[in-house]
Amino acid sequence: MLGFVADAATEALVRDGLTEFAGPDFDLRRGNVRTATTALQKQNTPRVLLVDIAGEDHPISALRDLARVVEPDVSVLLIGALDSADFYREVTRGLGVAEYLPRPLTREKLARQFGPLILGQAPEADMGGRCVTVTGVRGGVGATTVAVNLAWLFGVVMHRHTVLLDPDLYRGLAAFLLDARVGSGLRQALESPDRIDVLLAERAASPAADRLHVLSDQLDFMTELAYAPGAVAALLRVLRNRYNFIVADVPFVSNAFNRDLLLQVHQRVFVLEPTLASVREALRLLDLPVGPAQKHRPVLVLNRLGRPGTLTRQQVEEALKTHVDMVIPDLPRQVGNAATLGEPAAAARGAFRNAIMDLARQVDAVGLLDVASADATVAAGATKPKWFSFGRQS
C-alpha cells in the first residue's frame, strides 16, 4: 500500500489507524494528489493507493490526471477537506474512488471505513445505535463525569437519541449528575434477558432531556445481582434498535456484567489522570482482549492535565509507550460546581466542552454535525460501475 498525505498530523493519524491493516510495508509519504501523479509515472501502481486532496483547487481534474498514470484496477482511498455529498458522489460514482473521508479525521474513522477495503473486504453494514463504554483506570479519575457529559452532548446538543447506561446498580451516580430519577427494571433485564424488549427498556429508562435517557437502578447493598449469561447481548440489541448512541459508564470492577459490556461494544474509552498509579492501571486495561466489534485500540483520555504535582503529557505517553488521544485540562471549579448543581459541565462553552466535543468525534466514526456527512455515509453503500477510471472491486 502507498499513501500521500499533506501534513504531519494527518500522517500520524493515518499511521495509527491503518498500519494494522496495511502491514509493516505501508509506504506513507508527504505530498498531495499532484505528488502522487508524478511519483506513479515512474513506478508500479500499488494495489491500494491513499491520496490527500486537501488544499487542491481543482480536485476532480487532479484526480483525472492521476487516473491516467495508474492501472485501472487500483483501489483509491481519498481524504480531503471538502465535506459535501455532491463531491462524494462525484468521486465515488463518477471516478470510481473506493471511499472518501472528509476531515476531521480520527483513527477510529480511518480504521472502520478504510481498514476492510485495504484487506480486500467490503465494509460491514452495522445497522443500529453505536455503543461506547467509558471506564476510569482507577476510582476518582473523572470517568463518570466524562461519560455523563458525552451522553449529554450526543442527546442534547446533537439531538441524537441517546441512553446513558449506568452498570453500577447500587449507587446510580450517573442519574444524579444529570438530575434524573434513578429508574427500576435494569436488574430485571439483567436477570431475565428473555424478557427484554423495547417496552421494558423504555419503562426502565428515565428521561433527562428530550432525547437523553438514563438507564440505571439502585439496589440495596445486601442484594446480590443474579446476572444471566447473554443479558448484555440481549440488552444492547434492544437498545441499539431504540437509540442512536448507548454510552455506558463501566467501572474498573471485574464482574460478568462489566466484562461483557467491555467486550461487546463498538468503542472503549479509558480515562486516566497524569499520575504513575493511573499509568500502571491503564497499562493493565490496555491488555484486555479486543471485542469483535472493536476495530482499533481504546481511546485514551488524559483528564485533569496540569493539576499541581502531577506528570506532564509527555511523561505519561513515555510511560504508556503510546500517545493519548485527547486531554482535558484540570478544571476543578467548573466541573465541581456542575456536579453540585446536577448540571452537565459541558453546558458551558470553554475548554471542557471542547474536549468532550473532541471525544465525541473520536468515538463516532460516522460524523457529527454536518448532514452531508450522513448523506455521504449512505452513499458509501452504492454500487460503483466497473468502467470508471479507478475501481478495483474487492
- Other beta carbons less than 10 A from residue 24's beta carbon: 5
- Contact of 53 with 31, CB cutoff 8 Å: no
Model confidence at 259: pLDDT above 80 = yes
Q: What is the pLDDT of residue 195?
A: 82
Average pLDDT, the chain: 86
293 — pLDDT class (breaks 50, 70, 90): confident
- Contact of 150 with 247, CB cutoff 8 Å: yes
Arithmetic mean of pLDDT, 14-27: 89
Q: What is the pLDDT of residue 213?
A: 94
Model confidence at 381: pLDDT above 90 = no
Distance CA 82, CA 235 (A): 38
Model confidence at 7: pLDDT above 80 = yes
Q: What is the pLDDT of residue 188?
A: 86
- Other beta carbons less than 10 A from residue 242's beta carbon: 16
375 — pLDDT class (breaks 50, 70, 90): very low
Q: What is the pLDDT of residue 204?
A: 83
Q: What is the pLDDT of residue 369?
A: 42
Q: Sheet of 130-136: strands edge to edge? A: 205-209, 212-215, 162-165, 245-249, 130-136, 267-272, 299-305, 326-329
DSSP label of 123: P
Least confident of 230-234, 288-292, 388-392: 388-392
Model confidence at 89: pLDDT above 50 = yes
388 — pLDDT class (breaks 50, 70, 90): very low
Q: What is the pLDDT of residue 364?
A: 74
- pLDDT of 134-145, one tens digit each? 999 999 999 999
Model confidence at 384: pLDDT above 70 = no
Q: What is the pLDDT of residue 124?
A: 61
Distance CA 286, CA 264 (A): 16
Arithmetic mean of pLDDT, 361-390: 45
Pairing relationship of beta strands 205-209 and 212-215 according to DSSP bridges: antiparallel
Give the DSSP letter string of 78-114. EEES---HHHHHIIIIIT--SEEEESSP-HHHHHHHH
Model confidence at 275: pLDDT above 90 = yes
339 — pLDDT class (breaks 50, 70, 90): confident
216 in helix, strand or coil? Answer: coil
Distance CA 106, CA 93 (A): 24
Higher pLDDT, 391 or 6: 6
- Contact of 362 with 106, CB cutoff 8 Å: yes
Higher pLDDT, 197 or 132: 132
Q: Is 142 left (phi over 0), alpha (psi -120 to 50) or beta?
A: left
Arithmetic mean of pLDDT, 246-264: 94
Model confidence at 289: pLDDT above 70 = yes
Give the DSSP letter string of 15-67. HHHHHHHH-TT-EEEE--HHHHHHHHTSSPPPSEEEEE-TT-SSHHHHHHHHH
- pLDDT of 159-214, one tens digit each? 999 999 999 988 878 888 888 888 778 888 899 888 888 767 777 889 999 999 99
Distance CA 74, CA 46 (A): 7
Q: What is the pLDDT of residue 73?
A: 82
123 — pLDDT class (breaks 50, 70, 90): low
Model confidence at 74: pLDDT above 70 = yes
